[in-house]
Amino acid sequence: MTGSKVKRITYCDAIREALREEMKRDEAVYLIGEDIGRWGNLFGATKGLLQEFGPERVKDAPISEAAIAGCAVGSAVMGMRPVVEIMYIDFITIAMDQIINHACKYHQLSCGTVNVPVVFRTQGGVGMRNSSQHSQSLENWFVNVPGLIVVMPSTPYDMKGLLKSSIRNNNPVIIIEHKSLYFTKGDVPEDEYVVPIGVADIKREGTDVTIIATSWMVLHALEAAEKLAKEGISCEIVDPRTLWPLDKETLVNSVSKTRHCVVVTEAPAEGGWSSEAATVVTEKCSGDLKKPVKRICGMRTGIPYGKIEKSVVPNDEWIIAGVREVLE
């Protein structure tokens, strides 16, 4: 961020700024989703955009996830650049067909002549005591779909820069926001910038252990690292930012240096992105690794309602225990 003046904004502000800047930059960009216009999204992420750009560019849609996603795909094929909002990731189940079978297939079926530049914005994770149908971490499903980019930013800086890159990108993208991050703050440059897709970021440098964490888990990893530093344990925190394409190089370089690795994710372990990261590290760093890679994942359960929701997903204590285990 050198050279440019910075300002402190929330993750939510970052979304709005990115959308606003891209809508001004390119007439083809439009927003579609439930309650994104008059209401400005549940968290205020699209507040004011309807007033500024009008109802043709900020389309309040009926409660019709399949139609919203299908409409986005059809209009993208025709050269528009929709940014879809699926209110909660849990509701994406109803639009899976349009995303998986259509958005992610048209480029190949058209021999590369048709692009589907759709961004599906949605949010997941715990944090609002929303229970089992409003708090899931479903990113693992999407990592498995060829043709789809999966983005999960953890800071306002990354959010703004990655959302802008996603909108300019010609592939379908799903960008998964986190409800516990919307009101966290961070520095972003006053000047225009983008964050490239497929490039990880080192959120904290360290020498003893690499913690690969994503989204809200990055914050927990940072807290854990702070506590462990007091004991003289130095953690390096790598945030992939894009789950696919995964920046294997940065992961591998870090683990080659620290020779210990912990992977942290809010989603359940089985069949997931965390296994992918752990395997990449194991395959490429086996000579360097002093201990097997440790995974710290969400429990394989429906997220319980209320105060105990956070007890089934990792926190800094879980991460500290994992780090101790690999350093033992």
Partner 1 sequence: MDRDKLLGLYRQMLVLRHFDEMCLDLKMKDLIMDGFHPYSGEEAVAVGVCTNLRPDDAVISTHRPQGHSIAKGSTPRQIFCEMLGRRGGVSQGIGGPMQWIDTPNNFFCGSIVGSGITIATGIAMAMKREGKGRICVCFFGDGASNTGSFHEGLNLAAIWKLPVIYICENNQYGEAMPVREFVSVYPISKRAASYGLEGVMVDGNDVEEVLAAVEKGVTAARSGDGPVFIEAITYRTRGHYGGDPEYTYRTRDEVEWWRKKCPIARCKARLLEEGVEESVLIALEQEVVRELESDLAWALEQPFPTVEQATDHVMIPLAEGGRLK
If binding is defined by CB under 8 A, does position 31 make contact with partner 1?
no
Torsion angle defined by CA atoms of residues 55, 56, 62 and 68, in that order, rounded to the nearest 10 degrees: -150
If binding is defined by CB under 8 A, does position 72 make contact with partner 1?
yes
- Whether the bond between 245 and the residue before it is cis, its omega within 30 degrees of 0, is yes
Q: How far is the CB of 26 from partner 1 (least distance, A)?
A: 14
Q: Which of 12, 18, 73, 175 binds partner 1 (CB under 8 A)?
A: 73
Of 77 and 297, the one with the shorter C-beta distance to partner 1 is 77
User: Vertex 128, ends 150 and 272: CA angle to 5°?
Assistant: 30
Q: Which residues of 158-174 are buried (b: 16+ CB within 10 A; e: fewer)?
A: bbbbbbbbbbbbebbbb
Site string (304-323) toward partner 1, x via CB under 8 A = --------------------
Q: Which residues of 276-288 are buried (b: 16+ CB within 10 A; e: fewer)?
A: bbbebbeebbeee
If binding is defined by CB under 8 A, does position 273 make contact with partner 1?
no
If binding is defined by CB under 8 A, does position 3 make contact with partner 1?
no
Interface with partner 1 (CB under 8 A), residue total 52
Site string (184-223) toward partner 1, x via CB under 8 A = ----------x-xxxx------------------------
Number of C-beta neighbours around residue 65 at 10 A: 22
Q: How far is the CB of 64 from partner 1 (least distance, A)?
A: 4
If binding is defined by CB under 8 A, does position 75 make contact with partner 1?
yes
Q: Which of 12, 14, 77, 233 binds partner 1 (CB under 8 A)?
A: 77
First-to-last alpha carbon distance for the chain, in angstroms, is: 37
Q: Which of 85, 236, 247, 266 binds partner 1 (CB under 8 A)?
A: 247
Bridge partner list, 201: 239
If binding is defined by CB under 8 A, does position 70 make contact with partner 1?
yes
* Catalytic center residues: 134
Residues in Cβ contact with 86 at an 8 Å cutoff, skipping those fewer than 6 apart: 33, 65, 68, 69, 92, 95, 120, 121, 122
Interacting positions 142-171 with partner 1 (CB under 8 A): 146-147, 149, 165, 168-171
DSSP state of 64: -
Judged by the rule CB under 8 A, the positions of this chain that interact with partner 1 are 56, 61-62, 64, 66-67, 69-80, 82, 94, 97-98, 101-102, 105-115, 146-147, 149, 165, 168-171, 194, 196-199, 245, 247-249
